[in-house]
């Protein structure tokens, strides 16, 4: 495969006059470090100070999420919780609210649990040993290494998705990186490549190289200092490496969800701590076989049913299955009693900032813009009536 032409205005990928030498592995690190000094990222909000709390916070947020999306959340978290002690003392509900929209909510729960463990077990001081860091909730081996590198200059290897891609391409590592054998091979390689000096520049450079130059789609190969030795480039296999996950069909789980509405508010239930969307507020839900009659009976226990309508269904993909959701909207003419424990009547106008799963938030925010539903009390949203 031919690489794309150099992007206009992009920084040269490597200082001129240097020749790539991968005869020994030191050449790899040397070139990454040189490139980082010249073209890497140096002004990220969590850079410039060896403060483990800030670095750990950014690394957790950056798991499966790009820098541009993380910056705003990082600033809001630091403003709300400037220290690990402040985060540990925060109510989980507030932490989930601040996290809302970043996805992968188990990260937020682990973040909170980790902060508490740092305070209780380590008196608020993060360990610098990657092995001890990796024992903390939500801190895997690669994140532990990144925190140790950036907070204490420890010589440790990272292996996030970007690094896996770079190593698979440059060294022609075959096989899907999710398998044990390839995973182990990549970790060995990542450790063999570690330089003895400038570990922070190397680690940041490796991250930046994968994020900005050797990207998943349209890598800037023509502009890349590795291309004379990169196996993927040499063998025209850039699109093939790393190997994709073998395709499989995901099972589908079908459920009913209920938008129970009264006077501009909708009823939410707190989900169990374990399982999908654990601990978040969500809509009442039934398995497919329950039929929509279960939703109507449920609603009748909470007030006088005025209208019943069906909204457009939606799908949501999880790692191991696809959730197919049929949505029933019921309007109450009047409401009986107050919310039970584990229930919340949420003003639709507050949906955007609430700790809700992303597809539920999207649905409620969309409904909020349907003026008859928001605040009028009796009209049903658009959709097919039963
Ligand atoms: S490392 Fe290889 S695949 Fe990646 S940008 Fe450079 S030449 Fe292309």
What is the helix, strand, coil percentage profile of the chain, to 5? 40, 15, 45
In whole angstroms, how large is the CA radius of gyration of the chain? 25
Where along the chain do the CATH 3.90.79.10 domains lie?
Answer: 252-368
- Dist CA 126 CA 199 (whole Å): 19
**What share of the chain in percent tops pLDDT 90?**
65
Alpha carbon of 159 to ligand 1 centroid (Å): 17
- Say if residue 81 is preceded by a cis peptide, omega within 30 of 0: no
The pLDDT of residue 186 is: 96
- Confidence category of residue 48, pLDDT binned at 50, 70, 90: confident
Q: In the block, which residue shows the tokens 């009976």?
A: 297
Lowest mean pLDDT segment, chosen from 21-30, 53-62, 123-132, 318-327: 21-30
Q: Supply the mean pLDDT for the chain.
A: 86
Where along the chain do the CATH 1.10.340.30 domains lie?
Answer: 22-234
The pLDDT of residue 131 is: 97
Q: What would be the CATH architecture of the domain defined by 252-368?
A: Alpha-Beta Complex (3.90)
Q: What is the mean pLDDT of residues 254-258?
A: 93
Say whether pLDDT at 382 is over 60: no
Atom of ligand 1 nearest to the CA of 241: 3
- Confidence category of residue 386, pLDDT binned at 50, 70, 90: very low
Alpha carbon of 135 to ligand 1 centroid (Å): 34
The DSSP secondary structure of 195-248, one letter per residue, reads -SS-HHHHHHHHHHHHHHTS-SSS--GGG-TTTTT-HHHHTT-TTT-SPPPPP-
At 101-128, the pLDDT tens digits run 887 788 999 999 999 999 999 999 999 9
CATH for the stretch 22-234:
1.10.340.30
> Which residue owns the Cα nearest ligand 1 atom 8?
221
Say whether pLDDT at 205 is over 80: yes
Catalytically annotated residues: 59
> What is the best residue among 31, 210, 219 to mutate for testing ligand 1's pocket, by most ligand atoms within 8 Å of CB?
219
């Amino acid at each position: 495969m031919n690489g794309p032409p150099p992007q206009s205005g992009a920084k040269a990928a490597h200082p001129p006059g240097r020749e790539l030498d991968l005869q020994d592995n030191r050449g790899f690190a040397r070139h990454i470090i040189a490139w980082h000094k010249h073209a890497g990222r140096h002004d990220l909000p969590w850079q410039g100070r060896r403060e483990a709390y800030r670095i750990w916070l950014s690394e957790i947020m950056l798991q499966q999420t790009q820098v541009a999306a993380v910056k705003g959340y990082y600033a809001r978290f630091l403003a709300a919780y400037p220290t690990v002690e402040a985060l540990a003392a925060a109510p989980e509900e507030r932490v989930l609210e601040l996290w809302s929209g970043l996805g992968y909510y188990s990260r937020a729960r682990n973040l909170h649990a980790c902060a508490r463990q740092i305070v209780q077990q380590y008196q608020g001081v993060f360990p610098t040993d990657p092995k001890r860091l990796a024992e903390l909730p939500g801190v895997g081996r690669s994140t532990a290494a990144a925190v140790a590198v950036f907070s204490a200059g420890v010589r440790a290897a990272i292996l996030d998705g970007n690094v896996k891609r770079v190593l698979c391409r440059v060294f022609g590592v075959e096989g899907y990186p999710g398998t044990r054998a390839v995973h182990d091979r990549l970790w060995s390689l990542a450790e063999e490549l570690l330089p003895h000096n400038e570990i922070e520049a190397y680690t940041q450079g490796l991250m930046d190289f994968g994020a900005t130059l050797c990207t998943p789609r349209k890598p800037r190969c023509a502009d890349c200092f590795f291309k004379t030795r990169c196996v993927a480039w040499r063998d025209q296999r850039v699109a093939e490496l790393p190997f994709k996950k073998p395709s499989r069909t995901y099972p589908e789980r079908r459920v009913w969800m209920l938008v129970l509405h009264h006077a501009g508010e909708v009823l939410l239930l707190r989900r169990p701590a374990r399982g999908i969307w654990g601990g978040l507020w969500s809509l009442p839900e039934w398995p497919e076989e329950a039929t929509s009659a279960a939703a109507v009976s449920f609603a009748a226990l909470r007030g006088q049913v005025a209208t019943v309508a069906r909204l457009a269904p939606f799908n949501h993909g999880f790692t191991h299955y696809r959730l197919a959701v049929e949505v029933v909207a019921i309007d109450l003419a009047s409401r009986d009693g107050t919310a039970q424990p584990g229930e919340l009547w949420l003003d639709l106008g507050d949906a955007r900032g609430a700790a809700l799963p992303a597809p539920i938030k999207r649905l409620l925010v969309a409904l909020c813009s349907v003026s008859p539903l928001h605040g009028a009390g009796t009209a049903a949203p658009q959709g097919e009536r039963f």
